[in-house]
Amino acid sequence: MDNLSDTLKKLKITAVDRTEDSLEGCLDCLLQALAQNNMETSEKIQGSGILQLFASLLIPQSSCTAKVANIIAEVAKNEFMRIPCVDAGLISPLVQLLNSKDQEVLLQTGRALGNICYDSHEGRSAVDQAGGAQIVIDHLRSLCSITDPANEKLLTVFCGMLMNYSNENDSLQAQLINMGVIPTLVKLLGIHCQNAALTEMCLVAFGNLAELESSKEQFASTNIAEELVKLFKKQIEHDKREMIFEVLAPLAENDAIKLQLVEAGLVECLLEIVQEKVDSEKEEDIAELKTASDLMVLLLLGDESMQKLFEGGKGNVFQRVLSWIPSNNHQLQLAGALAIANFARNDGNCIHMVDNGIVEKLMDLLDRHVEDGNVTVQHAALSALRNLAIPVVNKAKMLSAGVTEAVLKFLKSEMPPVQFKLLGTLRMLIDAQAEAAEQLGKNVKLVERLVEWCEAKDHAGVMGESNRLLSALIRHSKSKDVIKTIVQSGGIKHLVTMATSEHVIMQNEALVALALIAALELGTAEKDLESAKLVQILHRLLADERSAPEIKYNSMVLICALMGSESLHKEVQDLAFLDVVSKLRSHENKSVAQQASLTEQRLTVES
């Protein structure tokens, strides 16, 4: 270290004199000291004030330039040295050196800039202002096709520099994307796929850039899908495959890229991994099985990629996914059920699957998870059943297969995601199915649970679905017995509250259900309607200019139906409904205007 102090003193003198030989000796000495103890040497360099001198030594024509850049690269490995390097004015001359024709100078300059940028806002800012990124991207473009080892090393350093420059910085990543870095990196990956270090650097860069929404379109216009799948097929090591997975997952969120990945044969690779790993108990194999099956499900979220893999229900992929459902592996059961839910996104697929026995498979799966079951599997299987129940022709088939009974076993679940899907499935099943709606509506346990969930203020989704199912039971059954069950269970107040929902569709469903209650069982529901302040709410809905036409229409229908109750009739009279209704006679919507005339007549006769 004493030796180092002498070297630093000598360097100060020679740096001014520019005697190349003695300068070179001093630089070699510094590099040696850095190799032995980087941190301590860096501290000494900082203390000596020599960094400022380095700026003057970074000149293109000097034979020592590469060594100076190398020293800067070495000291900048220490976090505490990065800001001092910026403050010493080293960035601008380093960026100038990027125009050099000397490969060693370029290599050491790339290293120096990359290390200064690592996790350093100041470093990145200075490189940005000096315009360093564009020069590096231009180099990547022009050197892209040369495959000798020295050039590949330089390309790796440049890729690393851009990575450090833009890592976790959205605006700098966006800048690189605008400079066209993505097609260049994809081309690099294709040409240099044999070079592990460069390939790895490209993958890390893709992983960073792919998180940015604006990158997806650029990626979609390259052959990234093909290159990644080609690379994936060659990988045996778990770590390497994991790196590729980390790029595939964000890219596969884009529908165009989903289709490209499917066409490039990614699905076959994923199915192979699942088959290989399904019985393994090794932690990394379990993780890889999860990643592969999750990615498979993600690919099915695109309409085109999903339809391509469905192949009219005859496709090999669809059949393989079906075989996951009865497996004993929870992860595969989950992925299988989610995949079916994704395949069930159009009527044709749903009808085909129901006709080919998928419902029974899903019910068997649910059965295995009733007691202390896996919540994610329950949720996924119910999602699939809900989607399958959307086409009209499937409803009766699913009801006779016993789906409602299978679903009702989960009524006691305390997990909101399961509750939410359970409610959605039942609501889909009873749509326009009067008999099923009546049967469910008379099920006291179900109705009581719905009323309880209508108060689940922490879970808006469960609350909304419970209200909608209560209303649906009445609307589709039109049954007095169902209404009586709902009144006895305390459900009326929730339907009245639902009429004030911010969602027009829910308001409407509530008003139609309430009109049926008033027409069929007004005597039974009278007290509850009164205490829920229904009449005041209807007055508010009619007076509010923002209310949708169908809300105004159904509110007036309901007012007329309430006239059969003495106490509610009195409330209507007390609130001067005539004023509000007569204004609506000139409403732009014909149905509203007509209903206003009828309601006005009714109110006048009854008053």
Instruction: For 420-449, write each residue's pLDDT tens digit.
Output: 999 999 999 999 999 999 999 999 999 999
Q: How many angstroms separate the CA atoms of 116 and 580, rounded?
A: 73
- Token pair for residue 551? 């809300």
The more confident residue out of 605 and 595 is 595
Two structure tokens written together for 380: 């996924």
Rounded distance between C-alpha atoms, residue 204 and residue 160, angstroms: 9
Evaluate whether 563 touches 600 at the Cβ level (below 8 Å).
no
Model pLDDT for residues 173-212, shown as the tens digit of each residue: 999 999 999 999 999 999 998 999 999 999 999 988 998 8
Closest CA to 564 of 529, 593, 513: 529
Q: Is the pLDDT of residue 125 over 80?
A: yes
Angle between helices 375-388 and 347-355 (to 10 degrees): 110
80 close to 112: Cβ distance less than 8 angstroms: no
pLDDT of residue 238: 83
- Helix 224-234 × helix 266-277 angle, to 10°: 30
State pLDDT tens for residues 38-66.
999 999 999 888 898 899 889 888 889 99
- Mean pLDDT for the stretch of residues 90-103: 96
CA 30 to CA 45: how far, in whole Å?
9
Length of the chain: 607
What per-residue confidence (pLDDT) applies to 573?
86
- How many whole angstroms separate alpha carbon 571 and alpha carbon 577? 10
**How far apart are alpha carbons 100 and 135 in whole angstroms?**
11
Give the helix ranges, DSSP H, for 58-102: 65-75, 79-87, 91-97
The answer to whether residue 17 scores a pLDDT higher than 70 is no
Confidence of residue 607 (pLDDT cuts 50, 70, 90): low
Q: Does residue 10 carry a pLDDT above 80?
A: no
Residue type, 450: L
DSSP category for residue 224 = H
Sorted by sequence, the CB contacts under 8 Å of residue 104 that are 6+ apart come out as 66
Write the secondary structure of 369-397 as one string of H (helix), E (strand) and C (coil).
Answer: CCCCCCHHHHHHHHHHHHHHCCCHHHHHH
Fill in the DSSP letter of residue 586.
G
Which residue bears the tokens 């190349």?
20
Tokens coding 509: 């469903």
Residue 149 has pLDDT above 60, yes or no: yes
Nearest-5° Cα angle at 167, 161 to 170: 125
Please state, in angstroms and as integers, the Cα–Cα distance from residue 551 to each residue in 348, 430, 460, 556, following that order. 34, 24, 22, 9
Domains (ranges, CATH) in the chain?
1-130 (1.25.10.10), 135-264 (1.25.10.10), 275-432 (1.25.10.10), 443-521 (no CATH), 533-606 (no CATH)
**Cβ(222)–Cβ(185) below 8 Å:** no
pLDDT > 70: what percent of the chain?
Answer: 98
**Segment 352-391, tens digit of pLDDT:** 999 999 999 999 999 999 887 889 999 999 999 999 999 9
For 46, other C-beta atoms within 10 Å of its C-beta total 17
pLDDT in tens, 223-278: 999 999 999 998 878 888 899 999 999 999 999 999 999 999 999 999 999 999 99
DSSP 475-525: HHH--HHHHHHHHHTT-HHHHHHHTT-SSHHHHHHHHHHHHHHHHHHHHHH
State which amino acid sits at residue 197: A
In degrees rounded to 5, what are phi and psi of residue 454?
-65, -15
Residue 159: name the closest of 106, 114, 102 by CA: 114
